[in-house]
A and B are shown apart, each in its own frame.
Chain A
Amino acid sequence: MAVSRMAGLRVSALVAGAGLLLSACGGAKVGETTDAQASGGGQSGCGTFNLAVNPWVGYEANAAVIAHVAEKELGCKVVKKDLKEEVAWQGFGTGEVDAIVENWGHEDLKKKYIEEQKVAVELGETGNKGVIGWFVPPWMAEKYPDITDWKNLNKYADLFKTSESGGKGQLLDGDPSFVTNDEALVKNLKLDFKVVYAGSEAALITAFRQAEKQKTPLIGYFYDPQWFMSEVKLVKVNLPEWTEGCDADAAKVNCDYPVYDLDKIASKKFADSGSPAYELVKNFTWTNDDQNTVSKYISEDKMTAEQAAEKWVNDNPDKVKAWLPAAAG
């Protein structure tokens, strides 16, 4: 007992001594090396900009580029908040979120927060077109060329049977965040399929990746723009064409999904604040190719969102200039 106590004391003394010795050697001191430009490169008057970041890479690309420009050009303090859509919309009401910069539809949320509570406003399209639909891996489209027409799906239903689909063909659905009419579609188009819920985007992407690699049959719900499309170019199955109003009654839908014009939403408070960041978000618009480029930097080249945004902004100064508020540009 006594011995170990002595040893303990000795160790402590040693550590303390070593520490003192090191402090004598010194080194750079905190505060000496702080870079001057960190304290503000642009104009003041922007203040804090609370930007919601929804959990998919395409959104992150939008958010990263906007945040980069807001910080470097407008001198804003950007606070990114990682949130699911539903929680992000709630943030308009509580004043915790200023803007959402890639919104897929969400008519129900628009009704609640824009029309009823009047805490949010629409800020126009991002320029990205969102395509939702049923997709098959490329090897299948090659081997069974007529599979891309929905009328032939029943012919191939047997291929898609799995342990989960109860003897029918399996139609794999993904993240519950996305709007899906698939159960109604299967019923109304009289398809011999069963919707199986993968439950997350990760599950859906992994399933498609394995299906292409292992050449196993798979048909599922997917969407574009999506970073995975640049790794495996999934092929869309054509459902009966979308026409105005064909999806008005959720139970009777028998047509493809419409093309979504992805848009931006801001809180009412932010819109009235006169912040230059608001002008930036309002002016922001780019193409699917632009977004896919930044998404690729993040997902395949493993850059951080900040690095990816910086690279794209440096490569596209003209596009960025067009977004800046008149006063700053």
Chain B
Amino acid sequence: MTAVPTTPATATAGAAAPGSAGGRRRLRGRYLAVLILAAWVLLSVVLKGRDTLALGGAELTPLHTRLNEGMDAIDAGRNSNPLFLYFINYIRLFLDESVTFVQALISQPSFGRPVPVVGWLGVTGVATAVALLYGNRKVAALTAAGFAAFGLLGLWEESMDTLALTLTAVVLSLAVGIPLGIWAGLSDRVNRVVTPVLDVMQTMPTFVYLAPLTLFFLIGPASATVATMVYATPPVIRITAHGIREIPVNTLEASTSLGSTPAQALRKVRLPLAKRTIIVGANQTIMAALSMATIAALIDAPGLGKTVLKALQTLDVGTAFNAGLAIVIMAIVLDRVTSAAGRRVEAERRAGRARGPRARRIEVGLVLAAAAVLVYLSHVYVWAAKFPGEARLGSYVKQGAGAASEWVQDTLVTYTDALKNLVTYGLLNPFQSLLAGSPWWLVALVVVALALLLAGRRAAIIAGVSLVLLVLLGLWHDSMVTLATTLVATLIVMVLGVVAGVWMGRSGRVDQVLRPVLDAGQTMPAFVYLVPILGLFGATRFTAIIAAVAFAAPVSIKLVAEAVRGVSPTAVEAATAGGSSTWQLISKVQLPMARAGITLAASQGLIYVLSMVVIGGLVGAGALGYDVVAGFSQYPLRGKGLAAGLAIVVLGIMLDRIMRAAAQRAAARPASQ
């Protein structure tokens, strides 16, 4: 999913302030915080098990029942509400037709032919041509190799189905998202309205709205497209708005003083300057859309996700991995091509017009002609339409991955079991009993007090409101269990993030080796590696933590590496010249100066961990994740599932706001002294 700040505001929040000791006030704050924590531990022992508001697996509160009835009412009104129905129906038709059209072009037999209009050679040719024209030769080669790999893995048709759905969803997301992002960039009021909506869209688990979506958009491509768009549109809106905002004031003033109208300023100054950032937003939207491939398959979305889910039914890790690998390859190709396009836009803007228009025109013409020939061939000849060969590579991958998974499960299980027990008994269980075992009002008091102390009054109010909401949703106990697991996972993510991130930030070679691994961790669907990690750690909360870490750590590592690399070389040189050891250099110079980036890595890591709560519910984490899954699976539990989804959103927003305010405060304090 999103690899770059989905909350760019944080990036500006903490302008690194290493400052000498932040004064007495800060020290006093620390003592107070420790005191509060100590009091909490003491009281929790005394009051253990009281007012924990636990709710059994199948128990419902009146609110849950009412939510269920509400959803039933919508269901019943579907056929009697013409306005609603016509509106939704037209959108559905449009979406269905769009996806089916792209499928007819590249993936499904169509127009009475046994094969799609354009075969493998044509698709590969066009994709390579696009990569060459908008990116560079290196990414063009990568694109050609990547598309060939789909065929060699034996997954050409499935890959094209996924590509068709992803591309349609992405195009529509950009069509909606870029204008909205520009608007939010120009108007503070719009931005304020849009931000919480985007927060909800990104943190609300897909499982919650997947089943209801099929009531409106029916089973098929339209529902899958909408589900994908809900998750994939926010990044481009946020990042576009950010890009429009960060344009230097004096550039704008210059254009205004030259007499341009706001519309002209937008077209001539803001948009060209923000173009590169907008492409970064598009890149993030593509990644987010692709990450929905597996989940959308739960409502019959065509493509690789189906292969993964089918394989999971028979615990066929090899086949699932093979399909997961195709998804990873697709993600890496799309990522590298859009990144190269972004860099090229930037370079051309800096250099004015880099190439003569005539030479460019000839190049475009030739490349397009070559692609057209390939498309024609693949339309007419069987060898270019259907991928030839036996897909040997695919069967090797399947066998290899299957055998590896089995070997790992058989040989490592004693050690991994010990590790699981160590972390669970040593850290997770005590922490959970503190959060979920104390009376709710005690926990709420402590959290609000800590928020007030570390993050200020506004954050404390948000925390208070959020905690009351959790109680009202009837899921306090489950929320606290989930919170404990989430915080432990985030802790592990940050340890990994700092260690690997510093290592990567300091050495280009390490970066080169680690980066593809991190990309794979981020884009490989969790469903692929659930079976091996279940074999190693059992159906436990720890397994859920491992899955969350596998997904969230890459983002944090990349962000920390970026921050360490961003530390000014002169500071590093000065320290080295002053005789600092490597360790001193890291701990005294690089880490403190990269503090803003590390804070960002922590907040992003947390959001990513939260987005894995539902996957955790599938592997034994229980609590909110399980509630959401159960709501998706059982009719009487729908209302509770929705409430659990809302609880996850509330947790996410609360933690995000507290962390951001705390980071801002920590950065601002030395200056205010």
Does chain A bind chain B?
Answer: yes
Q: Is the CB of B540 within 8 A of A163?
A: yes
Interface presence of A41 (CB below 8 A): no
B interface footprint on A216-242 (CB within 8 Å = 1, 0 otherwise): 000000000001000000000000000
B210's nearest neighbour on chain A, judged by CB, is: A87
Contact A200 to B381, CB < 8 A, known contacts A5-B355, A56-B313, A94-B218 = no
Q: Mark the stretch among B248-256, B279-287, B501-509, B614-622 that contacts chain A.
A: B614-622
Choose from B119, B355, B359, B370 the contact partner of A19 (Cβ within 8 Å): B370
Choose from A13, A82, A214, A298 the contact partner of B309 (Cβ within 8 Å): A82
Q: A residues within 8 A CB of B355?
A: 1, 5
Choose from A34, A163, A299 the contact partner of B420 (Cβ within 8 Å): A163
Interface presence of B517 (CB below 8 A): no
Q: Is the CB of B58 within 8 A of A199?
A: no
Q: B residues within 8 A CB of A85?
A: 633
In Å, the complex CA distance between A4 and B219 comes to: 50
B310's nearest neighbour on chain A, judged by CB, is: A82
Q: Is the CB of A199 within 8 A of B618?
A: yes
Choose from B381, B409, B429, B629 the contact partner of A29 (Cβ within 8 Å): B381
Interface presence of B57 (CB below 8 A): yes
Interface presence of B151 (CB below 8 A): no
In Å, the complex CA distance between A177 and B211 comes to: 14
Chain A interface secondary structure, helix, strand, loop or mixed?
helix
In Å, the complex CA distance between A32 and B381 comes to: 10
**Of residues B219, B373, B636, which shows the largest number of chain A Cβ atoms within 10 Å of its Cβ?**
B219
Nearest CB of B to A66, in Å: 18
Residues facing A in B115-152 (CB within 8 A) are: 115, 119, 125, 132, 137
Interface presence of A57 (CB below 8 A): yes
Interface presence of A8 (CB below 8 A): yes
Q: A residues within 8 A CB of B673?
A: none
Residues facing A in B295-337 (CB within 8 A) are: 297-300, 306, 309-310, 312-316
In Å, the complex CA distance between A82 and B301 comes to: 8
Interface presence of B339 (CB below 8 A): no
Q: Is the CB of B620 within 8 A of A196?
A: yes
Q: Is the CB of A163 within 8 A of B369?
A: no
B299's nearest neighbour on chain A, judged by CB, is: A87
Q: Is the CB of A197 within 8 A of B380?
A: no
Q: Is the CB of A198 within 8 A of B313?
A: no
B635's nearest neighbour on chain A, judged by CB, is: A108
Q: B residues within 8 A CB of A27?
A: 381-384
Contact A16 to B373, CB < 8 A, known contacts A27-B383, A29-B382, A210-B409 = yes
Choose from B214, B376, B425, B535 the contact partner of A90 (Cβ within 8 Å): B214
Q: B residues within 8 A CB of A204?
A: 539
Chain B interface secondary structure, helix, strand, loop or mixed?
helix
Q: B residues within 8 A CB of A203?
A: 530, 534, 539, 618-620
Choose from B114, B219, B429, B625 the contact partner of A31 (Cβ within 8 Å): B114
Contact A8 to B363, CB < 8 A, known contacts A198-B620, A299-B314 = yes
Q: Is the CB of A163 within 8 A of B363?
A: no
**Of residues A15, A23, A298, which shows the largest number of chain B Cβ atoms within 10 Å of its Cβ?**
A15
B interface footprint on A165-198 (CB within 8 Å = 1, 0 otherwise): 0000000100111001001000000000001111
Q: Is the CB of B382 within 8 A of A86?
A: no
Contact A82 to B300, CB < 8 A, known contacts A22-B377, A176-B626, A199-B539 = yes
In Å, the complex CA distance between A172 and B219 comes to: 33
Nearest CB of A to B292, in Å: 16
Q: A residues within 8 A CB of B535?
A: 206, 209-210
Q: Is the CB of B113 within 8 A of A81?
A: no
Q: A residues within 8 A CB of B384?
A: 27
Residues facing B in A88-104 (CB within 8 A) are: 89-91, 93-94, 96-97
Q: Is the CB of B363 within 8 A of A30?
A: no
Q: B residues within 8 A CB of A227?
A: 314
In Å, the complex CA distance between A108 and B636 comes to: 8
Please count how many residues in chain B sit with their CB below 8 Å of the partner chain's CB atoms: 84
A interface footprint on B383-411 (CB within 8 Å = 1, 0 otherwise): 11100000000000000000000000110
Q: Is the CB of A20 within 8 A of B373?
A: yes
Interface presence of A125 (CB below 8 A): no
Contact A30 to B218, CB < 8 A, known contacts A197-B626, A299-B314 = no
Interface presence of A201 (CB below 8 A): yes
Q: A residues within 8 A CB of B551?
A: none
Contact A8 to B621, CB < 8 A, known contacts A90-B211, A202-B530 = no
Interface presence of B374 (CB below 8 A): yes
Q: Is the CB of A15 within 8 A of B370?
A: yes
Q: Is the CB of B634 within 8 A of A250?
A: no
Q: A residues within 8 A CB of B363?
A: 5, 8-9, 12
Q: Is the CB of B534 within 8 A of A207?
A: yes
Q: Is the CB of B58 within 8 A of A183?
A: yes
Contact A199 to B621, CB < 8 A, known contacts A28-B381, A28-B382 = yes
Q: A residues within 8 A CB of B620?
A: 164, 196-199, 203
Q: A residues within 8 A CB of B376?
A: 23
Interface presence of A322 (CB below 8 A): no
Q: Is the CB of B382 within 8 A of A30?
A: yes
Q: Is the CB of A87 within 8 A of B413?
A: no
Interface presence of A112 (CB below 8 A): yes
Knowing that A15-B125, A199-B539 touch, tell me 20 more A-B residue pairs with CB under 8 angstroms: A4-B137, A12-B363, A28-B383, A29-B380, A30-B114, A32-B382, A89-B635, A97-B219, A164-B540, A164-B541, A164-B622, A180-B57, A197-B57, A199-B617, A202-B313, A202-B315, A203-B539, A203-B620, A214-B413, A302-B316
A interface, CB within 8 angstroms of B: 1, 4-5, 8-9, 11-13, 15-16, 19-20, 22-23, 26-34, 38, 55-57, 60, 81-87, 89-91, 93-94, 96-97, 106, 108-109, 112, 162-164, 172, 175-177, 180, 183, 195-207, 209-210, 213-214, 227, 250, 298-299, 302
Of the A-B pairs whose beta carbons lie under 8 Å apart in the complex, a sample of 11, sorted by A's number, is A1-B355, A81-B300, A94-B215, A94-B219, A163-B424, A163-B540, A164-B424, A172-B539, A197-B617, A203-B620, A250-B58
B interface, CB within 8 angstroms of A: 56-58, 75, 78, 113-115, 119, 125, 132, 137, 210-211, 214-215, 218-220, 297-300, 306, 309-310, 312-316, 354-355, 359, 362-363, 366-367, 369-370, 373-374, 376-377, 379-385, 409-410, 413, 420-421, 424-425, 429, 530-531, 534-535, 538-542, 617-622, 625-626, 629-630, 632-637
